[in-house]
Structure 1
Amino acid sequence: MPEPAPSAPAGPRVAVIGLGAMGLPMATHLVAGLPVTVFDVAADRRALVTAAGAADAASPADAARAADIVLVAVRDQAQVTAALFGADGAATTLRPGGIVVLTSTVGPDAARDTAARLAERGIRLVDAPVSGGPTRAGTGDLLIVVGADPDALRAARPVLDRLASTLTVVGPDPGDGQALKAINQLLAGVHIAAAAEAVALARGLGLDPAVVIDSLAQGAAGSFMLADRGPRMLQAYGEGAEVRSRLDIFVKDMGIVTEVAKDAHVPTPLAAAAQQLYLLGERAGLGAQDDSSVVTVLSPRDGAGDR
């Protein structure tokens, strides 16, 4: 059984499962204020957090054995299911009354199903998808939207308050947070796609995309995604942008958006068009690259814009 590092601070014991682009900085930030145990399939990622003071674990079950709160930060619902309910899943050892904080974007139905399975074991789910990117995750500056009953939310507050600069309680049920996160991802996904079209058109017209991005970002056409992804789109035509958010994450997330919208009988034509652009990018082999690389689907690296 893993033991917290000797210098671990007092507070609820936290197990972080998943040390990817968001899980790694979140875990590292939590270590400074709470006793943390971590698990990821990649030993080198675990080593980065244990060097900061976390305890290492050999499996999700091992990480959760002494935990009060398990924070799950994995890519999709299949990984959530494996991390919690697999043979070595965290739910097999987390004590009844324990809390699972689900930070992954999986959709409302998946969150409700997960909550129901955990409830059979006496474990409560706090549905808390996060937004803001790795840099903000590492400084406790995330937007977190929450669906949870008040008692579960109160128990999870030491973790959520350390990670979030903005915490919005959407409703009392798991799935409520995921519903608002889907709306967030609709806007984010459409904005990235629109920024890619703007950069592609600038290249096609023979304009300097860097000048175009800088100019547009100052006016009414500006957006966070244009200012953030625009410069990274330019890097896509060089050595490639640092991978901060994989393109295939938006394939998943826009799929959730369009499915939720279909179930609600709400037309979302712009979201559907953006989803197709990300699918084209994935089909072109860009799935593991930064989502800004989707611009190269619209304006290829060796296309007319390269002049």
Structure 2
Amino acid sequence: MSQNIGVIGLGAMGRGMAQSLRRAGYTVHVCDVRLEAAQAFAAEGGVAHAHPAALAQHCEVVVSVVVNAAQTEEVLFGPHGAAAAMAAGSVFVMCSTVDPNWSIALEQRLGSLGLQYLDAPISGGSAKAASGEMTMMTSGRPEAYAKVGQALDAMAAKVYQLGDAAGAGSKVKIINQLLAGVHIAAAAEAMALGLREGVAADALYEVITHSAGNSWMFENRMAHVLAGDYTPLSAVDIFVKDLGLVLDTARATKFPLPLSATAHQMFMQASTAGHGREDDSAVIKIFPGITLPASNK
């Protein structure tokens, strides 16, 4: 594979992934809707481009780390889209959380253009993305893996190959998001009850994180609540979207998901109350009659 690789989307995860690729020796071409983000990365050692098409002209592999399917469509097929500029046989690596059926259709659409595709949602958070230790849930054709395998290993500690066609990666990511969303909602409910009952928030956090009721999401997200810091690493509206995808996937086969449905309503309520762009731990703000810890900044 060429040492030139493109990363589109330099948010919490994409920037870290681009940094990991650069550390592995790749020449990393980047673009973002915020031109200043691409220019900042280039200033540290990379190549900034104004739009996806300009980036795609230089790269056999393009990694897309945008929010959703609509943004991915824009990256590929919008004005200055990457698809028309990619050389035949190049690989598009899609890292967003999307409807698995949409991902399957995208593989077929890109295949008709002579392009290869890897369904490759990601998990682990910004810190693990920056250190190259995140998880990738991938599926795609062997010839796509043959071109991108080393790059995937540079970005992730765990690269799971879940099938030889698109769809399986996105299905596993949907299930991961089911658990993540339910765990955050449950963590918020538990902390809210503790506050309502007059338990000191820091004491409750200390006990739970050393007890059987702990979860990674409680430990991570309730630390944000203790700090009174709702700066979005993953926003409330992300889980409005992702749990919506979970429910849509299950609805197609009439499969009941009562906990997912309840958690989705909690994130919907938080979003409607004006917290959609805050950190997803802000779902705790839907509970009445509690006083949340103040910001310690």
What interval of TM-score do these two structures reach, taking the shorter chain for normalisation? over 0.9
Q: 1:78 aligns with which of 66, 70, 73?
A: 70
Look up the match of 1:292.
281
Deviation at 1:148, TM superposition (A): 0.7
Look up the match of 1:31.
22
Deviation per CA, 1:206-252: give whole Å up to 9, x if none.
1112111210111110100011011112233xxx3332111111111
Summarize the alignment of residues 100-139 of structure 1 with structure 2, pairs less than 5 Å apart.
Answer: 100-139=92-131
Distance across 1 between alignment mates of 2:109 and 2:292 = 53
3-state DSSP class of the match of 1:87?
coil
Distance across 2 between alignment mates of 1:291 and 1:129 = 19
Summarize the alignment of residues 1-307 of structure 1 with structure 2, pairs less than 5 Å apart.
Answer: 11-32=2-23, 33-236=25-228, 240-299=229-288, 303-305=289-291
Q: Is the 8 A contact 1:115 1:174 kept in 2?
A: yes
Range 19-28 or range 55-64, more displaced = 19-28
Identical counterparts, % of pairs: 36
Deviation per CA, 1:8-29: give whole Å up to 9, x if none.
xx94321111111211111122
3-state DSSP class of the match of 1:285?
helix
3-state DSSP class of the match of 1:277?
helix
Range 188-197 or range 165-174, more displaced = 165-174
Q: Aligned letter for 1:56?
A: A
Deviation per CA, 1:120-154: give whole Å up to 9, x if none.
11001100000000110000001111111111112
Count of matched residue pairs: 292
Distance 1:245 1:304, change over 3 A: closer
Segments of structure 1 that go 5 or more residues without pairing to the other structure are 1-9
Q: Aligned letter for 2:6?
A: A
Q: Is the 8 A contact 2:138 2:168 kept in 1?
A: yes
Distance across 2 between alignment mates of 1:271 and 1:96 = 41
3-state DSSP class of the match of 1:189?
helix
Q: Is the 8 A contact 1:28 1:52 kept in 2?
A: no
Q: Aligned letter for 2:7?
A: V
Deviation at 1:304, TM superposition (A): 4.0
Q: Aligned letter for 1:221?
A: G
Deviation per CA, 1:74-119: give whole Å up to 9, x if none.
0111100000011210001000100000011112011112112111
Segments of structure 2 that go 5 or more residues without pairing to the other structure are none
Distance across 2 between alignment mates of 1:304 and 1:64 = 51
Q: Aligned letter for 1:98?
A: S
Deviation per CA, 1:146-201: give whole Å up to 9, x if none.
11111111211122101111111111111110000000000000000000000100
Q: Aligned letter for 2:177?
A: Q
Look up the match of 1:7.
none
Q: Is the 8 A contact 2:139 2:166 kept in 1?
A: yes
Supply the RMSD in Å over aligned alpha carbons: 1.4
3-state DSSP class of the match of 1:146?
strand
